[in-house]
Amino acid sequence: MLWAVVALTWMQIEGKSSVVKLTDETFPDAAEKGHIFVKFFSPSCHHCVKLAPVYEELGVFFEKYKDNMTIAEVDCSRQGKTCDFQSIEGYPTLRYYPGGGAEWEEFQGERSVEGLKDFLLPKIGIVRRPKFSFVKTLTPGNFEAVVMNRTENVLVAFTAPWCAHCKKLKPQLEIVGLSFKPGDNVTIASIDASAYRDFVEPYGIPGFPTIKFFPAVREHAVGTPTAEKAKKEADASASTTTTTNTSEGEKKEKEEKQEEEEEEEDDDDYYTAITKEGMRIITYRGEKEAVPLLQFVNEQSGTWRAVGGGVGSSAGVVSEMAEPLVVLSHALTKTPLPMTEEEIEKMEEEEEEKEKELEREKEREKEREREMEKEKEEMEEASKGEEKKDPIVPRKKNLKKKYGEEEREEKGGKRKGKKLGMKKAPPSVGEAVRQAEAAVDAHVKSRYVAGQYKRYIERAAKEGLGYVEAEKARLETMLTSGSFSDRQKGELVVRRNILALFLVMPLSSDS
């Protein structure tokens, strides 16, 4: 590369060039002879000026193949006859003429030295070994198999070969692709959307590059986006129905508010009309650099990859898994669980309601006593002068039966009950395991990480937290003293961090 730049600089100083300049007189013979690559340009064309150093470097490279391939150019501002005869409609136009009266072939690829080499070298029988890419190239033929694979998280860049921002994005995508391993179930891909405009139209491609994320299908995810959307539409329909009898002003205000909410949602999320088996396809709107792209894919796919393929220190930690694993740990050690603020608040509300009910019961008791006393006085008054043996007692018993007080125990005094505490009994081990596994299905996106969570949940349930402590210590030792590949080290970090979530509560039975 350095020698090419030096040669190019020298030729510019000396006024020489490796690019042959053709005229109206010389072009016909050169095209008939063949194996010539021609740039049709205009000096006033901005894109032509930008291409000039690239084309000059291409000429320098093909100096060693000059007997087999000629790099040439035609200035259409001076050689108008040739450009008119060749029907040149835009600048620059690049064509390969094989000669012998054969049809010319127009170059449509990336206008870089490498892109031009890849196009021309096979014409003279030189096959270049393809450069390995970590970005999968998509076409309509393989799009469905790759992108709609239900087990893969796929990031797709919709690009165009002439797009300058797409060219800048290409090496950034390679870095992102390099950072993921096969077990991550993540594919980084790109498609020439300008070549397949009709095919990509349903995915909503407003410009280039557009980047979209197609998530893996999660069978146990809590709710599906399509169901949520249907519910929203049903609610909106019900809301419209209820406004039939309202004033026109209120109806208009509600409709405007609904439209604003829908516009805000579209602006924030920007999902496509198409889904991947109910999973929303998300448009990436961040910076088109490797690091933010990698962070986005990690977030959406449940991975923790760092640039280059390692993992971050928090690999494997899913915040939603902390609580169910704490519950399982308490179930295994049969230690009381700390109560949450919500649970304490609920208990306080129940306690207050019980106190109020007790007060109401006391008032009802007093009222019953007053009524009984009143009836007793009336009976005593009525029984004066009658010669009966204790006429009051049977009627008093009847009154007690009437008011449901027969053999009733006194309920006065303070309510007996447990003092409001800050801990509660843990669930059974079986129930705690079911809760933890359900949380894995709902919240852990990576299949590998989900498998590790379930593996350790089962082992902990069978062997107790002693196994968890011993296994975590073993992995710590391996990480500090062993020699592992990046992939192996990443897996060890994930496993160690998962085990650490089991051990956030005291193991003592006195806790």
Which residues are the active-site residues? 45, 48, 163, 166
Pair 333, 509: CB distance under 8 Å: yes
Pair 161, 196: CB distance under 8 Å: no
Half-sphere exposure of 432 toward its Cβ, with a 13 Å CA cutoff? 25
Query: DSSP 3-state assignment of 210?
Result: strand
Beta bridge pairs of residue 337: 424
Q: What is the CA radius of gyration of the chain?
A: 40
Tell me, letter by letter, the H, E, C secondary structure of 311-370: ECCCCCCCHHHHHHHHHHHHHHHCCCEECCHHHHHHHHHHHHHHHHHHHHHHHHHHHHHH
Pair 56, 8: CB distance under 8 Å: yes
Q: And the tokens for 185?
A: 């179930």
Q: 397-407 burial string, b = 16+ CB within 10 Å, else e?
A: eebeeebeeee
Distance CA 446, CA 303 (A): 6
Q: And the tokens for 367?
A: 């009222």
Please report, for residues 208, 376, 381, 384, the alpha-carbon distance to residue 387 in angstroms, rounded to integers and kept in the order given.
Answer: 112, 18, 14, 8
Q: And the tokens for 494?
A: 């994930």
DSSP summary character for residue 286: S
Pair 142, 270: CB distance under 8 Å: no
Query: In which element (H, E) is residue 234 found?
Result: helix 225-242
121 backbone dihedrals φ, ψ, rounded to 5°:
-60, -40
294 backbone dihedrals φ, ψ, rounded to 5°:
-65, -40
